[in-house]
Structure formats: C-alpha cells, structure tokens
C-alpha cells in the first residue's frame, strides 16, 4: 500500500511538472503575440479586409459598419488569442518561441512586424490582379468543364424508358 501512494505521489509530481512546462510554453506563445503586436495587426487587417471587399463590391458600402462589427466580433484579438496560442505552441517549441521573441525585439525584427501586414496586403493584391487579368481564361475553362460534365452525364444516364402503360 505504501508503494502505491509513493507511485501516486511521483505521478502527481510528474504531471504537475509537465503542466508547468506546458504553461510556460503557452506563456511564451502569448508573449510572442504581444511582442509581434498581433492585436493592432488584427485591428488593421479587419479594416483593410472590409475596405477591400467594399472596393470590389461598392453596393455593400451601406453595410460597412455591420461588416466591421461582425469581423471585430469573430476575428478580433480577444476572440482569436487562445486559438493563436494553440497554433504557435503546436508549431514551435518553447525555445523556438523565445528565439523568435528575441528577434522581434531587434530593430530588424521590429521592422519585420510593421512590414508583414503591408507585404501580405501587397501579396493579396498581386494575386487578385493576376486572377482578374486572366478571368476570361478561367471563365472559358469553367464553361468547357461544364460542357464536359453535361456530356458525361448524358452519356451515363439510362436511355429514356418508354412511358408505362
């Protein structure tokens, strides 16, 4: 019986140590989110995303405030913080997170933080521009596939049976 309690005590100590390591890992991820200024980045991204949608569909302009309210509700830092902590702790070890934090505290790291949203926005614009300049090709490809699927469906459909008498 004494061995059982000693084993149980050791198991409890080991699990509490594992929890502490996990907790410090999560704390490192949260620190990275703070150092990388994710809150302000998310706030700016939400506004940029809504503005981009309104540029593409000006008819939605009267709904700007509703769209901002919706995205702020579901994409704000407060609503995604713990999801991002989970993601960062899955993808990076605690030591790696601490190295990233060190980098983000350097002048180049700080510049990276401010430039990444701009780079992402410019990258999205490049992608949209490429698609827009080739949208006729996409439309033709979709039309050709529609015709192919229709022909395939006609070929595999059972012949019309004569009406029942």
pLDDT band for 147, please (50, 70, 90 cuts). very high
Q: Can you give the pLDDT at residue 65?
A: 95
Instruction: Please provide residue 2's backbone torsions phi and psi, each rounded to the nearest 5 degrees.
Output: -60, -40
DSSP the chain: -HHHHHHHHHHHHHHHHHHHHHHHHHHHHHHHHHHTTHHHHHHHHHHHHHHHHHHH-GGGGGGHHHHHHHHHHHHSHHHHHHHHHHHHHHHS-HHHHHHHHHHHTSHHHHHHHHHHHHHHHHHHHHHHHHHHHTHHHHHHHHHHHHHHHHHHHHHHSPPPPPPP-
Can you give the residue ranges of every domain in the chain?
25-131
Look over the chain and give the mean of its residue pLDDT values, rounded to a whole number: 85
Between 55 and 4, residue with greater pLDDT: 55
pTM equals: 0.63
Residues in the chain: 165
pLDDT-derived band of residue 160, with 50, 70 and 90 as boundaries?
low
The Cβ-side half-sphere exposure at 112, using a 13 Å CA radius, reads 12
Model pLDDT for residues 39-62, shown as the tens digit of each residue: 988 888 899 889 988 998 999 999
pLDDT tens digits for range 104-130 = 999 999 999 889 878 888 888 898 889
The secondary structure of residue 157, as a DSSP letter, is: S
């Amino acid at each position: 019986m004494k061995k059982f309690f000693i084993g149980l005590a050791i198991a409890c100590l080991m699990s509490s140590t594992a929890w502490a390591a996990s907790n410090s890992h999560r704390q490192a991820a949260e620190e990275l989110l703070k150092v990388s200024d994710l809150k302000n980045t998310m706030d700016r991204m939400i506004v940029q995303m809504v503005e981009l949608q309104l540029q593409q569909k000006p008819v939605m302009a009267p709904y700007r405030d509703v769209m901002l309210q919706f995205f702020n509700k579901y994409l704000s830092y407060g609503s995604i913080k713990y999801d991002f902590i989970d993601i960062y702790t899955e993808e990076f070890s605690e030591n790696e997170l601490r190295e990233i934090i060190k980098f983000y505290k350097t002048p180049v790291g700080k510049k990276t933080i401010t430039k990444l949203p701009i780079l992402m926005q410019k990258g999205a614009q490049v992608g949209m521009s490429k698609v827009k300049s080739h949208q006729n090709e996409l439309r033709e490809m979709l039309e050709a596939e529609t015709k192919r699927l229709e022909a395939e469906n006609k070929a595999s459909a059972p012949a019309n049976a004569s009406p029942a008498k």
